[in-house]
Structure 1
Amino acid sequence: MQLRKTHPPSENPPTSTPDTHSAVLVVDVANLMGSRPNGWWRDRAGAATTILAQLSSLAGSTVFFAPVGFVTLVRIIAVIEGAAKAAKPSEGVEIIKAPQDGDSSIVEMTENVMHTITEDPTPTTAEKPTHGAPGEPAHEPPGHPVPLCCLVVTADRGLRKRLPPGTFTAGPSWLNALLDPYLTDAPSDDASASSLSQSRKRPPPR
């Protein structure tokens, strides 16, 4: 299993390899997209397709997340909205096409995951989930690995406040560092969130 790590100065991972925790990663794709100054607004579906393909490389990987330590991503959920819903799927990534706003779908998915953790915190044998209709959460069949924590990637402060207690959060810069080291010089999480908020109201000039 490949080990991937982040390298912020204050969060250097330990040199030893301790026990890992299982985790579900929920990604606010629109927010992550807005953190990348790569012209994503010209082709939102294409930009989302790129992100989904990159997320696929993380499926089943062990990564370092400072508040918890090493976590194995047993499930990756990507929430997409608007024009990005035309993105092409990637193996190992569950796609949720938000029927309305992406934030509400992220909250709903996170609540479902946290309920699973509360009901049974003991991991079980892995089995692929069955997917519902676009915009509907995937159903966990018997044997699906039960996560020990849920990590939501978003810089949206309003969304973070709506997440259920016990949810861990990380900004886009943390995930960008895992997916593409060249993106570590992108705008800060707060700046990217503000930029995306403005872009949703008014597309950038051509």
Structure 2
Amino acid sequence: MPASQDPPSLTPVLHEPEPAEQGVPLVIVDGANVVGSVPDGWWRDRAGAAVRLRDSLAAVPATGLPGLPAPVEVVLVVEGRARDIPQGPPGVRVERAPGSGDDKIVDLVRETAATRTTVVVTADRGLRLRVVALGAQCRGPSAVPR
């Protein structure tokens, strides 16, 4: 062996996974925006519309979303008159925004996007800009069952 070459190291090289690849992906659903994307009279019963959305999301943890395979964790953010809906089917956690639903979503993204894949379901352009800047991905309301 030439003198200028060191022998190969026997020390294993450990490669840490990228932070966003750790754990189960988180899907955060902007309840008011997704409910409002279907003109089905939701404005007459906002809480009822939020419950219907919550229940329709029950399959998502086991099926995933297009381009985001299961398993996933699902959080439905509700606000205003829909804020008092009960927790529902297993697999869908209801988060009640004390004020702005968008601010609650941004807070959740801030807590998670650096350590796991985080996807926000909304059509709200302003919210999309805020969460993408924090490292989240976005999907439109048609990405989830309604």
Q: Name the TM tier (shorter chain).
A: 0.7 to 0.9
> What are the within-5 Å matches in structure 2 for residues 13-32 of structure 1?
22-32=24-34
Alignment map for 1:1-206 (pairs within 5 Å):
22-65=24-67, 70-90=68-88, 91-117=90-116, 149-163=117-131, 164-175=133-144, 179-180=145-146
Q: Which has the higher contact order (CA 8 A, sep 6+)?
A: 2
Say whether the 8 Å CA contact 2:118–2:136 is kept in structure 1: yes
Gaps of 5+ in 1: 1-20, 118-148, 181-206
What runs of 5+ residues in structure 2 fail to find an aligned partner?
A: 1-22
* Aligned partners of 2:84 and 2:96 also within 8 Å: no
Contact 2:65 2:143 in 1 (8 A): no
Task: Report the secondary structure of 2:107's partner residue.
Answer: helix
What's the TM-score, normalizing by structure 2?
A: 0.76
2:118 alignment partner AA: C
Deviations 1:172-191 (A, max 9, x none): 1222xxx15xxxxxxxxxxx
Tell me the TM-score normalized by structure 1.
Answer: 0.55
The letter of the residue matching 1:84 is A
Aligned partners of 1:112, 1:170: CA distance in 2, in Å? Answer: 19
Q: Equivalent pairs: percent with the same residue? A: 38
**In 2, Cα distance between the equivalents of 1:57 and 1:26?**
15
C-alpha deviations, 1:50-104, integer Å up to 9, x for none?
0001111212323322xxxx42242101100000012232121111100110000
Q: Output the CA distance in 2 between the equivalents of 1:157 and 1:62.
A: 23
